[in-house]
Amino acid sequence: MSLVRQLLCGIALLLSLLPFVACAKQSTHGNNGLREVQDFRLVATEMRQKNLPLLVEFHGEGCPYCRALEEDFLIPMLHDPAYEEKILIRQVQLGIDTEIVDFQGNKVSPHEFASRYGASLTPTMVFLDTDGKEVAGKIVGFNTPSLFGGYLDAEIEKALTNVRAKVPSQ
C-alpha cells in the first residue's frame, strides 16, 4: 500500500508540473527566427547591402491568424535558402506601448507606423523599399492556406523586381 501511495503522489506531482512545462514550451516560440524591428534605418542598411525588399508583418499578441501565417509560411521562408536572395522579413507588433525608429529616423509608436500603410488589422503584410515606400501589393489577413503561398510569392517577386529596377545590383 505504501508503494502504491508513493506512486500516486509521484504521478500527482508530475501532473501538477504540466502547466509549467506548457508555458516553457510557449516561451521558446519567440525564438523562431522572426525579428521585431526596433530601428528601420538599420534594416534599410541591410536591404541596401543585399539589394532586397522588406516584408513587414504587422501582428498582434494572441492573434491566431498571425500565428498560422508565421508557422505555415514566414518561418519556413526564413529557413529556405531560395528566399534569402529575395526578401528580408521583419515584424512589428501592434498593441504594445513602445517606440520604434522609422526610415527617416523619427521615433513613432508601432500603431502610428502601421497606420501609414493602412495596417489596422492583423496580420497585414507590406513590401517596402529602403525609403519605406510600398513596392508591391499589401496583403491583409490570412485565409485559404492552399492558395496563400502563390499569392505571397507573387507579391515577393513583384517587390524584388521593383527594388532591383530602382537600385542596380552591385
Residue ranges and CATH numbers for the domains of the chain are 1-31 (no CATH), 32-166 (3.40.30.10)
Residue count of the chain, please give it.
170
Lowest mean pLDDT among 8-22, 48-62, 148-162: 8-22
Could you say which DSSP state residue 62 is in?
T
Distance of CA 3 to the CA centre of its chain: 51
- Grid coordinates representing 9 are 503522489
Per-residue confidence band for 1, with pLDDT thresholds at 50, 70 and 90: low
Percentage of residues in the chain with pLDDT exceeding 70?
Answer: 79
Residues 99-119: tens digit of each pLDDT: 999 999 999 999 999 999 999
CB atoms within 10 A of CB 164: 13
Judge if pTM exceeds 0.85.
no
Q: How far apart are CA 52 and CA 64, in angstroms?
A: 29
Residues 61-91: tens digit of each pLDDT: 999 999 999 999 999 999 999 999 999 999 9
Q: How far apart are CA 88 and CA 72, in angstroms?
A: 17
